[in-house]
Amino acid sequence: MSLLSTSGLTRRFGGLVAVNAVDFDLPQGEVRALIGPNGAGKSTFVGLVSGRVAASGGRVRFDGADVTHLPAHRRIGLGIAYTFQITSVFARLSIFENVALAARPRLGRDRAAVADAVGAALERVGLVEPETTPAGALSYGHQRLLEIAMGLAQAPRLMILDEPTQGLAENEIAGFKALIRALKGQVTILLIEHNMSVVMETADRITVLNFGAVLAEGRPDEIRASKAVQSAYLGRV
Ligand SMILES: Nc1ncnc2c1ncn2[C@@H]1O[C@H](COP(=O)(O)OP(=O)(O)OP(=O)(O)O)[C@@H](O)[C@H]1O
């Protein structure tokens, strides 16, 4: 069964249809990349899924329940985690406190459980700095890893990653690919990504948006071979 599905999902901004009647299905455990040219509607689509953007029409279903009109915090409670395109860590708080903030809504005041969850999330992303280090002292790449650790600490069922490799160095991108492979099957992932090597090497399937609509969907090899995708991307795939 699909963990996430949308039907006829639409968002208008004035006269512009940013997301146009999108039918989308994401089975549990899949890593799905969402790609498309700038302005195709990718961020708006994941905003509609996470509840940060209100739908103009259509439906969003998560684990069988209609969540179309649920506020974002209620969707987080159901297991939808969203990590931002712009780095969202609290610079003055320690690494530990940042991840603990993400874990506490689920684990409450159980300090030992929170500490365990923080340690496990940091270990999974491979962040080895002392937990007392202020987040603002980390390199940009490590702050992005911290964000992913914050997402994992929520024990999400669906993790939405919005351009997670933007601004990362080559070796950090290699680390990110390995992380996604390690998470495969454990958490369902929806990944907005412009870096085609990340998309092709990590995604089970790819959905291509263009002008707010689904242009193509398939396995990486199918998308690479698609003439429609090649022309929308001017041969970048
Ligand atoms: N709050 C808003 N108000 C008005 N127009 C918006 C708003 N948010 C997005 N848009 C428009 O909706 C369209 C889709 O934007 P969106 O950011 O979803 O695309 P995207 O595929 O994520 O692009 P990028 O790859 O550049 O991040 C664009 O034309 C954008 O200008």
Residues facing 143 on adjacent strands:
none
- Tell me the CA distances in angstroms from 117 to 74, 132, 149, 177, 202, one per residue in order: 21, 16, 10, 22, 25
Closest Cα to atom 23 of ligand 1 = 39
How close is the Cα of 186 to the center of ligand 1, in Å? 31
- Tell me the CA distances in angstroms from 234 to 36, 37, 150, 193, 200, one per residue in order: 11, 10, 36, 17, 17
Q: What is the pTM of this model?
A: 0.90
Question: For ligand 1, is residue 36 a contact (CB within 6 Å)?
Answer: yes
* C-beta of residue 60 within 8 angstroms of C-beta of residue 48: yes
What is the value of ipTM here, to two decimals? 0.96
* C-beta of residue 104 within 8 angstroms of C-beta of residue 146: no
Question: Tell me: the pLDDT tens digits for 68-106?
Answer: 999 998 998 899 988 765 557 899 999 999 999 989 988
* C-beta of residue 50 within 8 angstroms of C-beta of residue 75: yes
Closest Cα to atom 16 of ligand 1 = 41
Question: Tell me: the pLDDT tens digits for 59-78?
Answer: 999 999 999 999 998 998 89
Question: For ligand 1, is residue 13 a contact (CB within 6 Å)?
Answer: yes
- Tell me the best of 42, 44, 84, 209 to mutate to test the pocket of ligand 1, counting ligand atoms within 8 Å of each CB and taking the most: 44
Distance CA 1, CA 23 (A): 15
How close is the Cα of 32 to the center of ligand 1, in Å? 20
Q: Which residues of the chain, if any, have pLDDT below 70?
A: 84-87, 234-237
* C-beta of residue 223 within 8 angstroms of C-beta of residue 206: yes
Q: Helix (H, G, I), strand (E, B), or coil: what is residue 233?
A: helix
